[in-house]
A and B are shown apart, each in its own frame.
Chain A
C-alpha cells in the first residue's frame, strides 16, 4: 500500500538559518499537501501541489513537488521562532490520502 515518509523526524535550527524537510512516497501521487501544527495546536493546511515539478512560495517557505510526483520538499529560509512546530506532508493517490509522520522543528534563538 501507499506509504508516505518524512525526513528528518526532528530538526533543530538556529534562528536565521535555512533548512529543508523532505517527503517521499512509495507510489506516484496525484497531489501533495503540507500542514503545520504549532505546539499544543491542531494541523493547519498550508498549501497543495498538483503538477509535476511545481514550485510554490509563501513568504519564506518554498514548496516543491518532484518531477516524478513521488517526493516533495519544504524549504524555510531565515528561520524564525514562529516557524516552530511540526510540519506534515500528506499525499493523495487513488482516492486515498495519507499523512507522513511529520518533521518536528525546534528553533533556538
Chain B
C-alpha cells in the first residue's frame, strides 16, 4: 500500500532563515505531487504541483520554491523566511493524468516563523 511521509512534523524558525521541508511517497511510481499551505482555521492554498521529476508548476508567486529531485521526493524550500510563511504545510500525492484525481495527504509540517 502507499504511504506518504513528511518531516519535520513541527518547526520553529527565525525570520530570514532558510527552509527545507521534505515529502516522500512509497508504494507508487510517478505520482503527481502537491504542496499546500493552510493558515490557522483556513482553507487549503495550492502552492506547487509536479507531474514528474524536475517538472514543477507554481500556482502563486511567493517566497517559496519546490523541487522534485527523485520520482517520489518533493521538497519545499525558501532562502529567507517571512513571518507570513507561518502555517501548516501539507504534501499530497495522486495518480493519473486528468488533474482531477483523488489526493492523499501527508501528516503535514507545522511551521512557525518568529
B31 close to chain A: CB less than 8 A: no
Is the beta-carbon distance between B43 and A44 smaller than 8 angstroms? no
Q: How many residues of B sit at the interface, in one of the four size bands?
A: 10 to 19
A30 close to chain B: CB less than 8 A: yes
Is the beta-carbon distance between B100 and A31 smaller than 8 angstroms? yes
Is the beta-carbon distance between B99 and A96 smaller than 8 angstroms? yes
- Which A residues are in CB contact (< 8 Å) with B42? 101-102
The complex places the Cα of A102 from the Cα of B88 at a distance, in Å, of 15
A100 close to chain B: CB less than 8 A: yes
Which of B41, B44, B98 touches A43 (beta carbons < 8 Å)? Answer: B44
Which of B41, B44, B102, B107 touches A45 (beta carbons < 8 Å)? Answer: B102
Q: Using CB atoms and an 8 Å cutoff, list the residues of chain B in contact with chain A.
A: 41-44, 46, 90, 98-108
Q: Using CB atoms and an 8 Å cutoff, list the residues of chain A in contact with chain B.
A: 30-31, 33, 41-45, 48, 88, 90, 92-93, 95-97, 99-102, 104
